Each structure stands twice: as C-alpha cells, then as structure tokens.
Structure 1
Amino acid sequence: MTTPSRPVLFVHGLWLHASSWQAWIDRFTEAGYSPVAASWPGDADTVAGSREHPEAIAGHGIDDVVEHLESIIAGMPESPILIGHSFGGTIVEKLLSKGVGAAAIAIDAAPIKGVLPLPISALRTAFVALKNPANSSRAVSLSVEQFRYSFGNAISEEESNALFEKWTIPAPGKPLFQAASANFSPHSEAKVDTENSDRGPLLLIMGGQDHTVPEAITKSTLKQYKHSTAVTDLLEFEDRGHSLTIDSGWLDVANASLDWLKKQGL
C-alpha cells in the first residue's frame, strides 16, 4: 500500500494572492508532498477577481484567518506542514502554537506580540494603512512604487514591477493595526503561545535586505521562543528582500525549506 503524501498548507500574507505559491506547490509536489495554497477570507479565486472586489477582503483580522484555516485543516487526512509568508508567517506561528500543524515555516513573518523593534523601514510599509484609522475596516492597495520599496528593493525595478502586476491584490488593513497595538493589548490577536514545548518544529526564515520585516524583527521573534524546548530554528538569506518567495530566487528558499523538513523527519 502506498503511504499518503504529507499535506502542506501555504499561507500568503498581505498584498499577495494565494496563487503566488504555485511554483512552490509544483516543487513540493515534485518532492513527494501534497501541497495546497489557502486563500484568506474574502479573496477571490483569481488575482483579477480580488482586485475587482476589495470590499470582500476588507475587515478581516488575524483570528478570522486562523479560524478559516483551521476549518480547512480539519478536512485534511493528517496534520499538515504549514508554510507562511509575511502575515501568513505570523498566522502559521499562531496555528502551530495551538497544536495545529505538524511543523511550520514562517518566512519574513510579521511581528507577534512581544516583539519590540520597530525599524523605520517597517513603519514606512505599515504606514500605508496606519496613516488613516478608517483603514482598519478597509482593504488597502499598494502602488507600484510602494511595492518596490516594501517587497522588491533587493531585485531589479523591472522584476519588481512585473511581480506587482502579476500577484498583488488589495489587503485588509486590520492585521496591521492589530500588530501595531499588540504590545498594548492584553488580548491581542497577534499573541502567540511561544512557551508551548509540545508543538511541532518551527523554522523562521528572514531576508537580510527586507524592508517590511527587517531582520531585527525576526531575531526578536526568535527570542520570544526561548522558554520553549521545541525545535525553533533560524535561517537567513542575507541578500534577499520581502519578495523572496515570489522573485527569481524563490527556488533557493523552497529548497532550503525542503532540506529543513527532511532534517525534522518530515
């Protein structure tokens, strides 16, 4: 009897559509896994559809996405490997801390409660939404210039512009407000049980040139897990920015993720 392939659930972050994981899905399928990419609540099936209906995307917060993904995971044949980028990384950290998922890889994950560094570049990206409190209940889009600064600063302008046209969608502003106020809110949705030692292994991946989630944030995130005895590893791609999951160097990140999973016996 053939052993079923381990499921993998990919989770996108703000401003990218779930279909941006397609190259990863192909690579992980090739490696023997059974991967799928999850949309956030309100996302349409296509990039074009999501751009046409930003009102459906608006207003969703971190726990809305977590609950949505838990319902998807409940229908899987076994506990999946969780891989998330940006706020998707934050969400897979939260799921794993709840005992949902066999392991998680959080790539340039947005800050969780307890992370204190606020580099200027990260504030500049978040200010796209935070500049107007009403954006907490709206969907916010990036301009091509904002995408270049926040995602594509470590690649050519030509490649950055092409990625913007291919993958970007409006994003709910609410998670950015939740992250910004996390350390002042005792019941923040950005809180993760970092002391849980019964969870599966976690890999944090950071891009050394990332403007949106600078390495200081990821290193501070790692420190939040110091009281857990579960596996928590850190991997840096020194010359990469926030686009590292979708740009021309994505395969290096995907292969490194596969290598780490193999070391974990997954």
Structure 2
Amino acid sequence: MAGPTTAERGERQQGSSGPPPARGLRRPRLRTMVILAVVAVLLGVGGAWVLYGSAWLRVRQVSVSGADVLTSAEVREAAAVPVGAPMISVDTDAIEARLRRKLPRIDTVDVVRSWPHGIGLKVTERTPVLLVRKGGDFVEVDGEGVRFATVAQAPKAVPTLELSASRKGSAAAGFRRFGVDRLVREAVRVAGDLPAAVAKETRTVQVRSYDTISLALADGRTVAWGSGDNGRAKARTLTALMKAAPGARHFDVSVPTAPASSGS
C-alpha cells in the first residue's frame, strides 16, 4: 500500500502549525493598564486635595432656619460650626448633639451641607403646653412632658399647672403611687387633648390626684375632666355639652358617656 504523497505531507504540516503568538499585542495592553492606574491615582490625590486641602470647598457661612424664641445668633453659637474648615470634614452628627445638649428648647435639628461653602441649621423648637411655677418664674413643659426652659414671663394661651394633690389621708397613697412626675405627665396629656377653643380659654389645669383633674377657664367656668384616659371622647363630649348648655358654669366630662353641666 502506497504512503502519503509529498503534497499530502505538506498539507498536514501546514494544518498542525497555527499562527505565531501575538506577543506584540501584550505590550500595548500592559502599557494601557499602567497609564490607567496612574491616572486613577492622580485623580484620587487631586480629589482629596480639592476636598481637604484647597480653599474652594470650605465653610464660609452658617444659616439658621426655624428658630422662633431662640435667636439665630444663639443657635450659631451653640452649634460651634468650624468656619474655615473643609466642608467634607464637618461632623454634622456632633453639631446636632451639641445643639440639643446646649439648647433644650430645640426638639429636632437637621444639619445639612449647602455646597460649596454653607452649613444649614434647620431647627424645630418645642412648644409648651403647660407651665409649672418655680418661684417667680415659669418652667415650660412640652407635649411629651419634657421641662425644657425657664422663663420669667408666661407665654400667652399656655395654662399653668396647679398641683394640689394631698399628701395626707386617703389621697396620700395615690400620691406615693404615682409621684409628681406621673401627675405632671397626666396633666400634659389632658392639655394635649383639649378642644382648640377650650385650650385657648384654659388658664389653669388643676391636679388633685391621678383621676381628679379639672380646668379653670378664663371666664370663670370650670371643667371636671377626671383622669387622662379617653381624652378624645371627653373633648368631643365637652364641645357638644358647651354648645347645648352655653350658659352653664360647670361641666363634668369625667365619664364622657354620662356628661353633666350645672350653674348659669
């Protein structure tokens, strides 16, 4: 049997030998990768310098919004924002904590960066719902029972708390059980549930015990409210009762399903 011809052997040799490795392509790829890495490093260094080292992005002004009783100057002083420092380095959480600690009147605060040069302080002040007498001054208490400020002059349309709970006889046990703070919170709870029209006229919230809370209105009328429970139902009942008996001087909504009015 005859072997492969010379032409066939040549074809086999050509088929088995592939193209030579493209060694020349590896160098451009490696060079490109090195260039890209250098560019990335330069961009990182340049960006860090712009944020931290340059004079372009530094704190130059501090704005205050939402302040009512507090002045903008008081808020700025308590915030102690580092004017001149890089914007990126300002610790907004620390500023918020500092404002709440130094100015208890502040309920919420949001510290925001206003690029390229400003820091904004957005504050919300606490609103007093009751006043507690302290000597000749008044301690403001908000809707959460927080005593946040002492003022020399009572704010308008904010009732004064009169805590007259007896520490003797049968009432003494209740006083010891609930304590002053709990009774104050109950008074705050009642003040927060009052109908708007009644709240404006309320001058005193009197607390004799946990379930004996009453109101003294500006025109001399009184309201027996009872405990702080069922506040919304009591508010609706009181509104309806006052409309039904406009000449009454005393209203009792301590049991909202069985209200009563008296006097004329």
Would the TM-score normalized by the shorter structure come out above 0.5? Answer: no
Q: TM-score range by the shorter chain?
A: under 0.3
Mark the structure with the bigger radius of gyration: 2
Higher strand share: 2
TM-score by length of 1: 0.23
Q: Which has the higher contact order (CA 8 A, sep 6+)?
A: 1
